[in-house]
C-alpha cells in the first residue's frame, strides 16, 4: 500500500477552511478545515450524527454551508455558476451511504444515466464497451440487466461504485462505504476501493466510523468531533494519542498500534 509520504504535496485537490453549518439552532459544523492532496486517501472519522454526511454534502453543494471557504480542483465552490458546478461535479465522484441506485432503472441504465448526459466523458468509446468495462471493474459483468432490487447490499454498493467511476472522476467521496454490510462483504468493498484507487489514480475522502475501513484505506485520518477537525495523523499515530476523545474511537479495536 502507498505510504503517506509518496504523494505530491504541492497542490491540494480539496481545500476546506472554516466550514460552518447549522440547522436551526443546531450548530453541526463549527469551522472545519481540511486539505486533500493528489493520490491521498483521507479518512474522516466521526461518531454517527457528528456531521460527516453534512460535511461532504457541503463539498459538492448538495447542502449550502453558512460560512467558510471550499475549493475543489482549484475553484472556489461558492462562486461557480450552475454550468461550471455541473462540470466540477463530474470530476468528483460521490458514493452514497445507501448506494442510491435509481430503482426504476436497470443496472445498465443506472450506469448510462450520467454518461449520456456527459457525452464528452465517453472518450470516443461506445456505451456498451464502457458499461462492460465499468461492471468488469467491480466484478459484476453479468448484472447489467438486473434491477436494483434484485441485487444484494454488497452488489448494490459495487454497482454504485461502477456508476461513480464511469465518468472517471479525479476525486471520490465515500459516505460510509461499509456501513450496513456484513464484515466479509465490507472487506471486499474495501479491497475493491483500494484496487480501483490504484488503477485509476484517484484521490479519496472516505467518511466512516468503521475502524477496520479506516485502518486499511487511510493514508491519513482526520477526526471530526464537536464540529471541527479535532485531531489528525496516520491511523497508528492517532492510536497512540492520549486524548480521551481520540482514544474513544480505538476502544473496541483489538491491537490498535500494530494495525
- Note the residues at the interface with ligand ADP (CB under 6 A): 23, 28, 46, 48-54
From 8-16, 91-99, 132-140, 197-205, span contacting other proteins (CB under 8 A): 91-99
In angstroms, give the least distance from the CB of 50 to ligand ADP.
4
Establish if 183 lies at the interface with other proteins (CB under 8 A): no
Give yes or no for a contact between 21 and 63, defined as CB atoms under 8 angstroms apart.
yes
- x/- site string to other proteins, residues 185 to 224, per CB under 8 A? ----------------------------------------
Indicate the burial class of 119 (C-beta count within 10 angstroms; 0-12, 13-18, 19 or more). Answer: exposed
Among 20, 30, 47, 118, interactor with other proteins by CB under 8 A: 118
CA dist list (Å): 41 to 19, 31, 77:
21, 22, 21
Q: Which three cell numbers stand for residue 154?
A: 454488497
First to last CA, the chain: 13
Establish if 53 lies at the interface with Mg ion (CB under 5 A): yes
CA dist list (Å): 61 to 1, 45, 90, 163, 257:
32, 21, 13, 20, 37
From 46-54, 117-125, 134-142, 233-241, span contacting Mg ion (CB under 5 A): 46-54
DSSP state of 143: G
In angstroms, give the least distance from the CB of 28 to ligand ADP.
4
CA dist list (Å): 147 to 103, 129, 132, 133, 143:
7, 20, 16, 19, 9
User: For binding to other proteins (CB under 8 A), which residues are involved?
Assistant: 57, 60, 62, 86-87, 89-90, 92, 94, 96-98, 100-104, 113-114, 117-118, 163, 167
User: For binding to Mg ion (CB under 5 A), which residues are involved?
Assistant: 53
Amino acid at each position: 500500500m502507498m505510504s503517506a509520504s509518496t504523494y505530491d504535496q504541492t497542490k491540494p485537490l480539496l481545500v476546506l477552511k472554516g466550514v460552518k453549518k447549522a440547522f436551526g439552532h443546531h450548530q453541526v459544523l463549527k469551522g472545519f478545515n481540511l486539505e486533500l492532496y493528489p493520490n491521498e486517501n483521507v479518512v474522516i472519522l466521526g461518531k454517527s450524527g457528528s456531521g460527516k454526511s453534512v460535511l461532504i454534502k457541503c463539498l459538492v453543494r448538495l447542502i449550502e454551508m453558512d460560512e467558510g471557504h471550499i475549493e475543489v480542483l482549484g475553484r472556489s465552490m461558492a462562486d461557480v455558476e450552475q454550468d461550471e458546478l455541473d462540470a466540477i461535479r463530474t470530476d468528483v465522484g460521490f458514493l452514497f451511504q445507501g448506494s442510491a441506485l435509481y430503482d426504476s432503472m436497470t443496472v445498465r441504465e443506472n450506469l448510462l444515466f450520467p454518461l449520456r448526459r456527459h457525452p464528452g466523458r465517453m472518450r470516443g468509446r461506445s456505451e456498451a464497451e464502457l458499461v462492460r468495462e465499468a461492471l468488469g471493474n467491480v466484478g459484476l459483468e453479468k448484472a447489467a440487466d438486473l434491477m436494483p432490487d434484485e441485487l444484494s447490499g454488497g452488489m448494490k454498493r459495487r454497482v454504485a461504485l461502477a456508476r461513480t467511476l464511469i465518468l472517471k472522476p479525479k476525486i471520490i467521496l465515500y459516505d460510509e462505504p461499509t456501513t450496513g454490510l456484513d464484515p466479509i462483504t465490507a472487506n471486499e468493498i474495501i479491497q475493491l476501493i483500494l484496487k480501483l484507487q490504484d488503477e485509476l489514480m484517484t484521490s479519496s475522502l472516505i467518511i466512516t466510523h468503521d475502524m477496520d475501513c479506516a485502518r486499511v484505506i487511510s493514508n491519513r485520518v482526520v477526526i471530526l468531533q464537536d464540529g471541527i477537525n479535532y485531531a489528525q495523523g496516520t491511523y497508528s499515530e492517532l492510536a497512540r494519542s492520549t486524548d480521551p476523545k481520540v482514544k474513544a474511537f480505538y476502544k473496541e479495536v483489538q491491537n490498535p498500534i500494530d494495525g
